[in-house]
Amino acid sequence: MPLSEVIVVIPAYNEQEALPLVLRDLPAVGAVIVVDNASTDQTAEVARSAGAIVVYEPRRGYGSACLAGLAKIEDRVKHGECAPAVVVFVDADYSDHPDQLSELTAPIFADQADFVLGSRIAGDREQGAMPPQSLYGNRLACWLMRRLFGANYTDLGPFRAIAYPHLCRLGMEDTNFGWTVEMQIKAVKAELRTLEVPVSYRKRIGTSKISGTLRGTILAGTKILYTIAKYGFWRKSSMKPARRPPSNRADEAK
């Protein structure tokens, strides 16, 4: 499997303890970009020492960090690097299982999907890894997306893979808690071939910046619902359905 054609983007804020484990468990890929989202610890130094590309994003927010990672990929391509076939997003807190990356990318390389979401709900979850408010929020968001967009999602999981040409066409914009649901809604609107695969999930290292605090839970929930409503009540999407690009892997049949 050509994992050399994969770039992994890891948004990180104060994850100096967990990040080395994430980087250790990742299979060998084309490049790993760690976006230091204004950390006050040694997150950036840990990433560099493990061989990752470090991008500094001073604007706090999960979406801001992801956008900075995408901007770095675009910059690499402009300067002569080969565009990746697939971009994978994974969290820096070691709640995801990075060693399962090939399970997400395999359907894309097999031309069976354009966007693959790792579902924690369908997978093996450690007890307590997803607190009740996270489980409820996921159910509500997925139910709303099913009613408004006909989307058959079970989760808003952060561990996901998407073909790079399609990712570029989505025009991602959200700078904080709405990033994951924005991608899932836009994938439906763009008629991408979407697949969920079960992934394992464990308790994160350290305290969650979102579900670990009342303020974070309220802000995240409000933004997710706002994002769903925003796209759900647009009468016409400004996006055009994304057509599958021709394969850039020449002579596959040989």
- Give the domain CATH number at 76: 3.90.550.10
Q: Residue 247: helix, strand or coil by DSSP?
A: coil
Residue 244 included in any domain: no
Residue 39 included in any domain: yes
Residue 53 included in any domain: yes
pLDDT (0 to 100) of residue 223: 84
pLDDT (0 to 100) of residue 236: 43
| 185 neighbors 151 (Cβ within 8 angstroms) | yes
In terms of residue numbers, what domain contains 127?
3-232
> Would you tell me how many other CB atoms lie within 10 Å of the CB of residue 186?
23
pLDDT (0 to 100) of residue 247: 40
Q: Residue 182: helix, strand or coil by DSSP?
A: helix
| 22 neighbors 126 (Cβ within 8 angstroms) | no
Mean pLDDT by 10 residues, the chain (254 residues): 92 97 98 97 97 97 97 97 97 97 98 98 94 88 93 96 98 94 96 98 80 61 84 56 41 38
Phi first, then psi: give them for residue 146, nearest 5 degrees.
-70, -40
pLDDT (0 to 100) of residue 163: 98
Q: Residue 100: helix, strand or coil by DSSP?
A: helix
pLDDT (0 to 100) of residue 116: 98
> Would you tell me how many other CB atoms lie within 10 Å of the CB of residue 21?
15
pLDDT (0 to 100) of residue 213: 53
Q: How far is CA 141 from CA 44, 124, 137, 232, in A?
A: 33, 21, 6, 12
Residue 54 included in any domain: yes
Q: Residue 180: helix, strand or coil by DSSP?
A: helix
pLDDT (0 to 100) of residue 240: 45
Strand order in the sheet with 31-36: 53-56, 31-36, 6-12, 86-89, 160-163, 115-119, 194-198
pLDDT (0 to 100) of residue 252: 38
Q: Residue 9: helix, strand or coil by DSSP?
A: strand
pLDDT (0 to 100) of residue 200: 98
Amino acid in position 93: D
Residue 155 included in any domain: yes
Structural domain count of the chain? 1
Q: Could you give the CA distance from residue 36 to residue 134 in angstroms, rounded to a whole number?
A: 25
pLDDT (0 to 100) of residue 222: 83
Q: Could you give the CA distance from residue 201 to residue 215 in angstroms, rounded to a whole number?
A: 24
pLDDT (0 to 100) of residue 226: 80
pLDDT (0 to 100) of residue 230: 85
